[in-house]
Amino acid sequence: MTNCIFCKIIEKQLPSDLIHEDDKIIVFKDIRPKAKVHLLIVPKEHIKSLAETNTKHATLLAHMLLALPELAKAQGLAHGFRTVINTGVEGGQEIDHIHFHLLGGGILPKM
């Protein structure tokens, strides 16, 4: 995906404040944080949105979800955190590459 911002970050064509990287995901700080801690968990595989996943993505999605508690712990979020997946334009998704938001670092507003 040549025009995908997240693909360019994954390929190191654009800078990011990298927190974690492994063979399946990359994690970096959001450039417009909505909380004291606001990380983006992005798969290296380009998938447009959660709506386009299926059973072949089960292992990748599990890997992303299971990374969240460890990332939260490493960020000092001992008292809780929020995970958000915006899906599609009406769901607030701005980048057409599936990603999870990890937010925390204080009392977050109720949803």
**Residues 4-49: tens digit of each pLDDT:** 999 999 999 999 999 999 999 999 999 999 999 999 999 999 999 9
Looking only at Cα atoms, what is the longest distance across the chain?
39
Is there a catalytic annotation at residue 97?
A: no
Q: Which two tokens stand for residue 28?
A: 């970096």
Tell me which of 38, 57, 79, 99 is the catalytic residue: 99
Contact 83, 68 (CB under 8 A): yes
Q: How far apart are CA 45 and CA 97, in angstroms?
A: 9
- Record the pTM: 0.96
pLDDT tens for each residue of 70-94: 999 999 999 999 999 999 999 999 9
Residue in this structure with the two tokens 């507003």, named with its chain if needed = 109
Q: Given pLDDT bands bounded at 50, 70 and 90, which one contains residue 51?
A: very high
